[in-house]
């Protein structure tokens, strides 16, 4: 289960960013520094040193990030089916 505190910017001045279904955070939309992974939380974004155009991604609220995190985590859980005899 996602802890609501994970859906926050790391430090003052950072923003949360959604791009192509992934959730990032960093000092600006074109400067993502971390990416969120279901089950393991925030990790250093390996593409952080690559230039991102200013229109890359969308700044999202903490509430939007929390909802997306919950959805991503639910998608990662194995699905179980009821057994019939």
Quickly list DSSP for 53-80. -TTSSEEE-HHHHHHHHHHHHHHHSPP-
Report d(CA 9, CA 16) in Å as an integer: 6
Q: What does R_g of the chain's alpha carbons equal in angstroms?
A: 15
Assess whether pLDDT exceeds 60 at residue 84: no
- What does each C-alpha distance from 20 to 2, 17, 28, 31, 49 come to in angstroms? 20, 10, 17, 16, 19
What gap in Å lies between CA 25 and CA 42, rounded to an integer? 9
| pLDDT tens digits, one per residue of 48-75 | 888 888 788 999 999 999 999 999 888 8
pTM, 2 dp: 0.81
């Amino acid at each position: 289960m996602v802890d609501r505190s994970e859906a926050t910017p790391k430090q003052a001045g950072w923003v949360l960013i959604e791009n192509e279904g992934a959730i990032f955070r960093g000092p600006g939309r074109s400067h993502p520094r971390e990416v969120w992974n279901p089950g393991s939380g925030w990790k250093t974004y390996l593409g952080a040193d690559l230039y991102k155009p200013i229109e890359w991604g969308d700044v999202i609220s903490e509430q939007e990030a929390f909802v997306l995190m919950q959805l991503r985590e639910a998608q990662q859980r194995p699905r179980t089916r009821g057994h019939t005899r």
